[in-house]
Structure 1
Amino acid sequence: MNKQNVIFLTIAFFLISCGGSEKKTAKNEVVESEISTNELEKGEQLYRAKCMNCHMIKGGGIEKVFPPLANSDYLKKNREDAIKMVKFGSNKPIKVNGVKYNSLMPASGLTDKELVAVFNYILNSWGNDYGQVSLEEVEAVKR
């Protein structure tokens, strides 16, 4: 009888452990999803406040004046430089989708956390599918 109880308790413990793990994973996925949605909403608000006047509501920019962010080959290939430009400002010319732009890019005045939110919004809006930027990546960008 004692041996049967030990076997039963071992099997019960194993089954309970497996079930709890699945619930925890599902719960974590929901939390991560909510954080991503909140971050994208915050990024959109920051974009509208800080970027939209030049880059337009749908990220199309103004040809030969302000570069597009939507479907931008520059953003896709030069992520660190793009972060540096937004973080510190820039007056260097760039080429986006074959068009040269030489307008001043003022420093955004955003915190690193705000830069993460606005970049993740830009990288995933208007047909862009350029992944995500992390806080560590933004913090690592220096002048």
Structure 2
Amino acid sequence: MRKSLLGLFLVLSFGCKNSSEENTSAITKKEITPEFKESISRGAGLYNNFCASCHLAGGEGIQGVFPPVKDSDWLKNKQKESIHAVKFGLKGPIKVNGVEYDNLMPALGLSNQEIADIMNYINNAWGNNFGETLTEEDVAAIEK
């Protein structure tokens, strides 16, 4: 009985991860500062709250409806436009990985720091390795 309770405890203790742990474990392995790691962690939570309902938890999107952010050529090649889309919303057609998308992405009312955190997360999650570390000041510099 004692062994089975210990086994159950170990399974429950080590078999469960919170969503923040899962999201940060998906980050591309590279040397990062503690500040960047914190930004990515905050970005993972923000992504799950504001972005995952359309772009999905794994960043794959829904083909023809909501573009992927995982392995996205648009995100990779258009960082300023991507920041602008998160900051101000996006309306009108775009082409991502050869597929056209023409859906409305509303502005979410996020702060510049929150946008930087989301961008740092999606630029480095799911195997992505896009762009430089973004700061609140970088996002503030993007104007409508």
Does TM, scored on the shorter chain, surpass 0.5?
A: yes
Larger Rg: 1
Q: Equivalent residue of 1:95, what SS?
A: strand
Q: 2:71–2:127: 8 Å Cα contact kept in structure 1?
A: yes
Which residue number corresponds to residue 18 of structure 1? none
CA displacement 1:21-79 (0-9 Å, x = unmatched): xxxxxxxxxxx722222111100000000000000001000000000000000011111
In the other structure, the counterpart of 2:38 is: 38
What is the Cα deviation at residue 135 of structure 1? 2.2
CA distance in 2, matches of 1:42, 1:134: 13
Task: Note the C-alpha offset of 1:98.
Answer: 0.4
1:141 maps onto 2:142 in alignment:
yes
Give the percent of matched residue pairs that are identical in Structure 1 and Structure 2: 43
Instruction: Report the equivalent of 1:60.
Output: 60
For residues 85 and 92 of structure 1, the distance between their equivalents in structure 2, rounded to whole angstroms, comes to 11
| Structure 2: distance between partners of 1:69 and 1:135 | 21
| TM-fit CA distance, 1:116 | 0.5
Stretches of structure 1 lacking an aligned partner (at least 5 in a row): 1-31
The equivalent of 2:94 in structure 1 is: 94
Aligned residues: 112
Task: Identify the structure with bigger relative contact order (alpha carbons < 8 Å, sequence gap 6+).
Answer: 2
Higher helix share: 1
Structure 2 residue runs without a partner (length 5+): 1-31
RMSD after superposition = 1.1
**Shift, 1:90, TM fit:** 1.6
Q: 4+ runs of 1 displaced by more than 6 Å?
A: none
